[in-house]
């Protein structure tokens, strides 16, 4: 059978839970995991390590993090050499949803296109209305 895609959203605080909550509403996707770092009840990065070790060998994993310069992303770089493993930092909700709906590990070209489209989703609405 096909290998299950695994998606991890890892953020400082509870943002990851909010993302997972919203994405489940919109997509009904399986294999979606939230990792909330640096909360009183969290054990980051041990909880991330446990989660990654729970996946089968070669199982494709995409990790989305909140801040490029943040420690959550820096810790993820330790795993970036794994096969079938991609990390995206500073993500917005449209990018995460599009990546998940594609249902597979995006190619290099797809990643660039998806990143470009997600940047276009970030708009100053007042300025947009003035143009009309």
* pLDDT tens over the chain, length 132 residues: 346 899 999 999 999 999 999 999 999 899 999 999 998 888 999 999 999 999 988 899 999 999 999 999 999 888 888 889 999 999 999 999 999 999 889 998 999 999 999 999 899 999 989 876
Q: For the whole model, what pTM was predicted?
A: 0.90
pLDDT at position 14 is 95
Cα distances from 69 to residues 30, 72, 90, 96, 110, in angstroms, run 29, 9, 9, 19, 24
Q: Is 81 helix (H, G, I), strand (E, B) or coil?
A: coil
Per-residue model confidence (pLDDT) at position 1: 37
Residue 132 confidence (pLDDT): 66
């Amino acid at each position: 059978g096909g290998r299950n895609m695994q998606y991890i959203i890892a953020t400082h605080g509870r943002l990851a839970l909010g993302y997972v909550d919203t994405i489940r509403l919109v997509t009904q996707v399986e294999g979606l995991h939230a990792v909330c770092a640096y909360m009183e009840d969290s054990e980051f990065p041990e909880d991330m390590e446990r989660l990654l070790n729970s996946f089968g060998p070669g199982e494709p994993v995409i990790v989305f993090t909140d801040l490029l310069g943040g420690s959550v992303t820096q810790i993820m770089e330790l795993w970036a050499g794994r096969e079938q493993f991609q990390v995206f930092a500073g993500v917005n909700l449209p990018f995460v949803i599009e990546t998940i709906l594609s249902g597979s590990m995006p190619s290099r070209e797809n990643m660039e296109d998806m990143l470009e489209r997600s940047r276009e989703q970030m708009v100053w609405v007042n300025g947009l209305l003035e143009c009309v």
